Amino acid sequence: MAMSALVKEQIEGITPLAISLITDKKFAVVFNQAQISVFSYEQAVAVTEAQRSALSPVQQTALSMVLNLLEDKPVDFRGR
């Protein structure tokens, strides 16, 4: 549960390897869409397929935005 309270500066300190080692269910619970949106490209690439599958559609969109930085898509994170 402590991971769900991480702020941007703390998230930036997580290595891609550490990201990839988090279980898929825990990953989906501890990182909300706002936290995922501050991942670096390297952290986002390290997300495993199992982790990605466990994410909600809003979380998946946040991850996709990090992976596709050149795309300019407005996203509503309020879940509508």
Instruction: Give the range among 11-20, 35-44, 64-73 with minimum mean pLDDT.
Output: 64-73
Which pLDDT value is given to residue 5? Answer: 78
Mean pLDDT of 11-17: 94
Tens-place pLDDT, residues 52-68: 999 999 999 999 999 99
Mean pLDDT of 42-52: 97
Rounded CA gap, 78 and 70, in Å?
A: 23
CB 46 within 8 A of CB 16: yes
- Cα-only R_g, the chain: 12
> Hey, is 50 helix, strand or coil?
helix
Looking at the predicted structure, is the pLDDT value of residue 80 above 90? no
